[in-house]
Amino acid sequence: MKRPATPVPPVKSESAKALDAEARAWVLYFASGENTPEKERAFAVWLAASPDHGAAFERAGQLWDAIADVDDVENILTDHNNIKTLQPRRTMSRRLLLGGGLAAGLACAVGIGLMSFQPAPPEDILLATARGEIRTFTLSDGSKLTLGGASHVRGKFTARTRALQLVDGNAYFDIARDESRPLTVDTGSVQVRVLGTRFDIKKRTGQVSVSVDSGHVRVMADAAARDLHAGDRIVSTAALRLGPVEPFDTEKELSWRSGRLSFVDAPLRDIVADMNQYSDRPVRLAPGAPADLRLTLSFSIQQIGQVLAGLDTAYPIDVREDDTEIVISEGL
Amino acid sequence: MQAKPSCPDDVIPLGTFADAADVPVPDGNQADEADRARFLSHLFRQHYGELVGRLRKIHGAGPPEPEDVAQAAFSKLAGLPDLARIRSPRAFLFRTAINLGLNSNDKLRRGRNFVKSQMDGNFSPDVEEISPETVLMGKQDLERVARAMQQLSPKQKEILLRSRFRGQTYAEIKRDTGWSEADISRQLSSVMALLQAGLDG
């Protein structure tokens, strides 16, 4: 039987791709507003070098133009709420899936008979976000964890326990109630125990804060324990163990989940630490910088550079940036 | 920077009528002025409000004022001899309004004029001009670009919005956001690469 030839999608050669990239760079160059006569001459030379160059430039220009024709483009581009919520299902990273597969294989080797007595297989949890990423994960019990940028949570759910560790960064925990399986979060220095509630934990160097949004949370450090309720916050440091229970501004404190960082009378050191969860370049405090300078600020994670530039103007600090980092030092 | 039609999705051949419109469309050559005026006012009623809304999303409260740009886009449309050949007045008006906004930036206009002079070998002072022959990418291709665009990071979206739609130079984007020009350039370059990759499938 004669079959119609299958259309083969055109595959671009490496040199065609490189030419396309050159052409796009020229299109962007003319959109940058940086035009100089030298560059314009260089463009004329490039264009005259080959008819392929003109064709590639037209294609790139067509793409640039067509961006305006994308349906609903005004909404796509103004939708900055990049928080991705996964559908309720077991959420595991690829790395963990590999590890889980290995563990399952070992379990089989130990004996399939044993497995049948387990009501549910233990579940390993490994959640992580990249710098600048805010993301909500849904766990198998229906709990939802929203991780701030550059944050890392791991743990294990078994038939009788739900144990999580906040390894780095911060997270908002919306824990599904399960009386038979209390949930614990260990930050290394502080342990939090709940049945089902909503709370936020932030881990910084030498300091952990726990803020309760709803319900009841027990916070423990060494032998000390405190019970917190909705609207309560506690800060634990190496020196204090557990500080006093104090009220906090829920709206401001938890606004990071929609990409807004708020600080009330906070030391520059903490602000910089939080900025580093979202900034595309590391923000660094140079020796001698006023790390204890206390500031009240609220800004979008999109505006970190702008905020730092503003601080440079308003405070005795000096902010310098290059392509690799932003350095804050003592100013005049 | 306008390509010639290779895939005229948005343009119908001369001498035919746009049957998509729900009022008779006059052929530019023969129609009497009354028909033409009726068609224009129909387009105005149908698209003006939405166009202003879309522009407000792009420009905020302005400047430029969304109403001013929308009016200017309608003036361009009204000045065209061959109205009947625009298949999608909605897309035409939006793109024209955006390009009019870009043209208010002297530096960008200079750059576009230079490109035009290099590409066509002649110099036209009024480069933002869109004609009905301006090609519009096919619908499926645009959907591919849209999907790639949705995957951009918030920062990339912000930079694309400012550069492509608000016509800001890198220096102006830096002033408003604090991002370095090198960073803006890098981000836009990966935006274009990502959109191209989305388009190529």
In a domain, A107, yes or no: yes
Q: What is the mean pLDDT of residues A305-309?
A: 87
Structural domain of A47: 14-66
From the CA of B82, how many Å to the nearest CA of chain A?
21
Same domain, B107 and B165: no
Same domain, B184 and B88: no
3-state secondary structure labels for all residues of chain A: CCCCCCCCCCCCCHHHHHHHHHHHHHHHHHHHCCCCHHHHHHHHHHHHHCHHHHHHHHHHHHHHHHHHHCCCHHHHHHCCCCCEECCCCCCCCHHHHHHHHHHHHHHHHHCHHHHCCCCCCCEEEEEECCCCCCEEEECCCCCEEEECCCCEEEEEECCCCEEEEEEECEEEEECCCCCCCCEEEECCCCEEEECCCEEEEEEECCEEEEEEEECEEEEEECCEEEEEECCEEEEEECCCCCCCCEECCHHHHCHHHHCEEEEEEEEHHHHHHHHCCCCCCCEEECCCCCCCCEEEEEEEHHHHHHHHHHHHHHCCEEEEECCCCEEEEECC
Q: State chain A's mean pLDDT as an integer.
A: 82
Same domain, B66 and B151: no
Size of interface A-B (CB pairs under 8 A): 173
Same domain, B29 and B83: yes
Q: Which residue, chain included where needed, has tokens 């020196």?
A: A239
Rg of chain B over CA atoms, in angstroms?
18
Same domain, B113 and B159: no
Lowest mean pLDDT across A112-121, A239-248, B74-83: A112-121
Determine whether the interchain pair B149/A77 forms a contact, defined as Cβ–Cβ distance below 8 Å: yes
Determine whether the interchain pair A33/B105 forms a contact, defined as Cβ–Cβ distance below 8 Å: yes
For residue A86, name the pLDDT band (cuts at 50, 70, 90). Answer: very low
| b/e per residue A45-76 (b: at least 16 CB within 10 A) | ebbeeeeebbebbbbbbbbbbbbbbbeebbeb
Distance CA A308, CA B170 (A): 19
> pLDDT tens digits, residue range A5-39?
444 455 678 888 889 999 999 999 988 988 788 88
**Chain B residues in contact with A47 (beta carbon < 8 A):** 118-119
* Amino acid type, B180: S
User: Is the CB of residue A70 less than 8 Å from the CB of residue A76?
Assistant: yes
Query: B181-189, long-range: CB within 8 Å, 24+ apart, which pairs?
Result: B181/A32, B181/A34, B182/A323, B183/A280, B183/A281, B183/A323, B184/B159, B185/A28, B185/A32, B187/B155, B187/B156, B187/B159, B188/A28, B188/A31, B188/B156, B188/B159, B188/B160, B188/B163, B189/A24, B189/A25, B189/A28
Which of B54, B145, B172 minimises the CB distance to A66? Answer: B145
In a domain, A75, yes or no: no
Specify the length of chain B in residues: 201
The residue of chain A with its CA nearest to that of B118 is A44
Which residue, of A224, A252, A280, is where some domain finishes? A252
User: Is the CB of residue A194 less than 8 Å from the CB of residue A215?
Assistant: yes
Same domain, B93 and B103: yes
Which of A35, A75, A323 minimises the CB distance to B110? Answer: A35
Determine whether the interchain pair A27/B108 forms a contact, defined as Cβ–Cβ distance below 8 Å: no
In a domain, A28, yes or no: yes
Which residue, of B116, B136, B156, is where some domain finishes? B136
Does A308 reach chain B within 8 Å, measured CB to CB?
yes
Determine whether the interchain pair B189/A24 forms a contact, defined as Cβ–Cβ distance below 8 Å: yes
Whole-number pLDDT of residue A170: 96
Whole-number pLDDT of residue A284: 93
In a domain, A6, yes or no: no
Each of the 201 residues of chain B gets a pLDDT tens digit; together they read 444 333 333 333 333 333 333 444 545 455 577 788 888 888 888 899 999 999 988 887 667 888 888 998 998 888 887 777 777 888 889 988 998 877 777 778 888 788 877 776 443 333 344 555 555 678 889 999 999 999 888 889 999 999 999 989 999 999 888 888 999 999 999 999 999 999 987
Determine whether the interchain pair A68/B99 forms a contact, defined as Cβ–Cβ distance below 8 Å: yes
From the CA of B107, how many Å to the nearest CA of chain A?
5
Same domain, A201 and A152: yes
Same domain, B118 and B143: no
Say if residue A118's pLDDT is above 50: no
Determine whether the interchain pair B178/A79 forms a contact, defined as Cβ–Cβ distance below 8 Å: no
Determine whether the interchain pair A78/B141 forms a contact, defined as Cβ–Cβ distance below 8 Å: no
Does A322 reach chain B within 8 Å, measured CB to CB?
yes
In a domain, A39, yes or no: yes
Does A237 reach chain B within 8 Å, measured CB to CB?
no
Same domain, A105 and A222: yes
From the CA of B155, how many Å to the nearest CA of chain A?
6
Same domain, B127 and B145: no
Determine whether the interchain pair A63/B155 forms a contact, defined as Cβ–Cβ distance below 8 Å: no
Determine whether the interchain pair B91/A69 forms a contact, defined as Cβ–Cβ distance below 8 Å: yes
Which residue, of B82, B116, B136, is where some domain finishes? B136
Distance CA B149, CA B191 (A): 8
**Chain B residues in contact with A61 (beta carbon < 8 A):** 1-3, 115
Q: Is A108 exposed, middle or buried (0-12, 13-18, 19+ CB in 10 A)?
A: exposed
From the CA of B30, how many Å to the nearest CA of chain A?
30
To test the contact with chain B by mutation, choose from A43, A67, A133 the residue with the greatest count of B C-beta atoms within 10 A, namely: A67
Say if residue A137's pLDDT is above 60: yes
Which residue, of A217, A252, A287, is where some domain finishes? A252
The pair of structure tokens assigned to B200 is 């190529």
pTM: predicted TM-score of the whole model, two decimal places: 0.49
Q: Is A110 exposed, middle or buried (0-12, 13-18, 19+ CB in 10 A)?
A: exposed
User: Is the CB of residue B93 less than 8 Å from the CB of residue B73?
Assistant: yes
Which residue, of A230, A252, A274, is where some domain finishes? A252
Q: Strand A152-157: give its sheet, edge to edge.
A: A123-128, A152-157, A162-168, A183-186, A191-194, A216-221, A224-229
Which of A28, A81, A304 minimises the CB distance to B189? Answer: A28
Same domain, B154 and B124: no
Which of B111, B179, B182 minimises the CB distance to A305? Answer: B179
ipTM tops 0.95: no
User: What residues 62-121 of chain A have any CB closer than 8 A to a CB of chain B?
Assistant: 62-82
Q: Which CATH number covers residue B177? A: 1.10.10.10
* Amino acid type, B135: V
- Greatest distance between any 2 Cα atoms in chain B: 56
Which residue, of B82, B109, B136, is where some domain finishes? B136
Domains contained in chain A, number: 3
Determine whether the interchain pair A68/B54 forms a contact, defined as Cβ–Cβ distance below 8 Å: no
Which residues are within 8 A (CB) of A111 and not within 5 positions of it... i.e. 6 or more apart?
none
Distance CA A285, CA A267 (A): 12
Determine whether the interchain pair B180/A60 forms a contact, defined as Cβ–Cβ distance below 8 Å: no
Structural domain of B75: 1-136
